[in-house]
């Protein structure tokens, strides 16, 4: 399987999740920060996984730049799953989460969303990740690959 995991991270929590996801997928897998990923990386993928911290209910500015730079031609027909890192506070629930917004953006460009947007939890705005989240992220990725591979 040829897969690409694109992420942004502020305090390192989303990066840890992205690397756990990438490590759970066998085959040709790249894990790239949003600023490092180019539209050329999107060619001939079997699976694109995109994740960001939830930042005011949205993905981070570097992730927005990646999403805005990804053309419809590059995204159309690509199988995509999205994730975010988030807290469980009431305020965050009011504003929403990044993963759903990322999925919506990519779906508008013709991506095939192959899993519900997933959230992985941090214990505070700077983390750390809640116990078991790295393992849960790896399991989530394996489920997607088994279903789509």
Q: Lowest mean pLDDT: which of 14-23, 94-103, 135-144?
A: 94-103
Instruction: Identify the pLDDT of residue 56.
Output: 85
Give the residue among 115, 119, 125, 56 at the shortest CA–CA distance from 80. 115
- The CA distance from 130 to 108, in Å, is 32
Instruction: Identify the pLDDT of residue 95.
Output: 79
DSSP letter (8 states) at residue 32? E
Confidence grade of residue 96 (pLDDT, cut at 50, 70, 90): confident
pLDDT at 93 over 80: no
Instruction: Identify the pLDDT of residue 125.
Output: 86
Tell me the fold of 2-148.
Rossmann fold (3.40.50)
* Percent of the chain scoring above 90 in pLDDT: 84
CA angle 66, 45, 22 (to 5 degrees): 75
pTM for the whole structure? 0.96
Query: How is residue 96 written in tokens?
Result: 């929403």
């Amino acid at each position: 399987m040829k897969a690409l995991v694109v992420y942004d991270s502020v305090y390192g929590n989303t990066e840890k999740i992205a690397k756990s996801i990438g490590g759970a997928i066998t085959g040709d897998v790249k894990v790239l920060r949003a600023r490092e990923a180019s539209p050329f990386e999107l060619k001939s993928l079997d699976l694109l996984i995109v994740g960001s911290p939830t930042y005011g209910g949205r993905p981070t500015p570097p992730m927005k730049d990646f999403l805005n730079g990804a053309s419809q031609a590059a995204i159309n027909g690509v199988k995509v799953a999205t994730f975010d890192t988030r807290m469980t506070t009431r305020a965050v629930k009011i504003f929403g989460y990044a993963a759903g917004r990322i999925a919506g953006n990519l779906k508008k460009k013709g991506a095939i969303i192959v899993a519900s947007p997933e959230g992985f939890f941090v214990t505070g705005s700077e983390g750390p990740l809640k116990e078991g989240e790295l393992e849960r992220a790896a399991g989530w990725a394996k489920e997607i690959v088994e279903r789509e591979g």
